[in-house]
Structure 1
Amino acid sequence: MPALKIGLLGGSFNPAHDGHRHISLTALKVLALDQIWWLVSPQNPLKSETGMAEYDERLASAKEAARHPKIKISDFENRAGTSQTAKTIAALKVTYPQHKFVWLMGADNLVQFPHWYRWESIMNQVPIAVFNRPGYRYKALNGMVAQKYKENRVLANSAGISLRAFPTMKPPAWTYLPQTAHKVSSTEIRNYRDTAGKACS
């Protein structure tokens, strides 16, 4: 496989939706990525198993929502037996040493990032692109992670820097993309389905 610049979007995808697709299409364009891999997690360690759909169902919803030849649905975490991002990225870099990986996350996840397993090692493994989420911009940009790594933030068009070069930068490096706010969330979709199901029963 030739060397590629690949964005990694991890999550439960319970279910996958247009918000995931919107982030991915923006990343492909702004960061000049060759592909996006949706890493469907067997079980997010920070989320309850209550209300979690079966893995195959979530994998299928991701394939249905992607609708783009450059968005690939991956069961790598399930096959590797890990759901912790630090371990997943380390395994991916060993398995695919020729690729350049960028971790993609929402601003809400940047706020809770210090609760992730070995989160600082994630910062040191790959560049991280943070996408705007309604209501989280201030918390994300003024939170612990942003403050600790403020010298490593990459701004578009700052000092002649283009975000198209971002995937090849040496970590720690992170950037914030404000133009990607999307109101849809997996939780809202599940709540809507539950409400609609009760109304029809």
Structure 2
Amino acid sequence: MRAGFPIARPGMTVGLLGGSFDPAHEGHVQITEEALRRFGLDRIWWLVSPGNPLKPHGPAPLAERIARARRIMRNPRVEITGIEAGLGTRMTRDTLVALQRLYPGVHFVWLMGADNLVQFDRWDRWQDIAARVPIGVIARPGWQMPARFSRAARMLWRARLPETQARRLARAMPPAWVMINLPLNKLSSSAIRAGAGQGDEKGRS
């Protein structure tokens, strides 16, 4: 295993939550702890994205975002990583290929908000992502219906498991996905950045 990379044994279930985390906040903590519990995961890794240095209003430096994330996310079952910078990957599909090669026998689950499911069909090689790992969708208030009727959801409707079977997801054969519903939490990174006078950033692909 590469130095500085998380440790995971074959047979473990690991959720992957990617994003800029610019900045990390209690909303991220909430969805992470709910995903740990309701999907029955052994670990969750936050994949703090490297960001694009060419963007004039890009995210804060990676080390700064990781340090803040580690201060706010105290659960010992959650690893805060800059693993994509170490792998040299930017697209989700390429990250998954590299992780599955590095961690044979580990059951990965890709975690995303329902807002990302709405535009998932615009991600690079999104169907290959769905074919590689099960997907746990976390629906915040207001996003459940748009996500359920999104193009990706319609194309993957046969692969959807009911919320009551969420704990089966990590060991399900992909394509497989479950949507879980969360209570209201109004915090968002964009709102925090706006309060600090910083620019916004688009989601990952």
Fold conserved (TM > 0.5)?
yes
**Is it true that 1:194 corresponds to 2:197 in the alignment?**
yes
User: What's the CA shift for 1:114?
Assistant: 1.6
Match of 1:13 in 2: 21
Runs of 4+ off more than 4 Å: none
* Equivalent residue, structure 2, for 1:55: 62
| Mapped pair 1:35 → 2:38 | no
CA RMSD, Structure 1 to Structure 2 (Å): 1.9
Report the CA distance between 1:51 and its aligned residue. Answer: 4.4
1:98 aligns with 2:105: yes
1:146 aligns with 2:153: yes
Secondary structure of the residue aligned to 1:114 is helix
Output aligned runs, 1:83-122, within 5 Å.
83-122=90-129
Deviation at 1:49, TM superposition (A): 5.1
Q: How far 1:35 sits from its partner (Å)?
A: 0.5
Specify which of 136, 139, 157 is matched with residue 129 of structure 1: 136
1:57-72 paired onto structure 2 within 5 Å: 57-72=64-79
Q: Aligned partners of 1:51, 1:93: CA distance in 2, in Å?
A: 29
Report whether the alignment pairs 1:173 with 2:184.
no
C-alpha distance in 2 between matches for 1:181 and 1:150: 26
**CA–CA distance in 2 between the matches of 1:126 and 1:49?**
34
Q: Contact 2:15 / 2:111 at 8 angstroms: preserved in 1?
A: yes
SS at the partner of 1:177? Answer: strand
Query: Which one-letter code corresponds to 1:192 in the other structure?
Result: G
| Ranges in structure 1 where 5+ consecutive residues have no aligned partner | 196-201
Alpha-carbon distance in 1 for matches of 2:87, 2:111: 20
**C-alpha contact (below 8 Å) 2:163/2:179 kept by paired residues:** no
Give the structure with the higher percent helix: 1
* SS of corresponding position for 2:119: helix
CA contact (8 A) 1:131 1:181 kept: no
| Conservation of the 8 A alpha-carbon contact between 1:77 and 1:88 | yes
1:181 Cα deviation (Å)?
4.3
Partner SS, residue 44 of structure 2: strand
Identity among equivalent positions (%) equals 43
Q: Shift in Å at residue 55 of structure 1?
A: 1.1
Q: Which ranges of structure 2 fall in alignment gaps of 5 or more residues?
A: 1-7, 199-205
- After TM superposition, the score normalised by the length of structure 1 is 0.89
Whole-angstrom distance in 1 between the partners of 2:49 and 2:112: 14
Q: CA deviation at 1:178?
A: 1.2
Output the CA distance in 2 between the equivalents of 1:187 and 1:81.
26
Distance 1:6 1:12 in 2: 19
Aligned length: 190
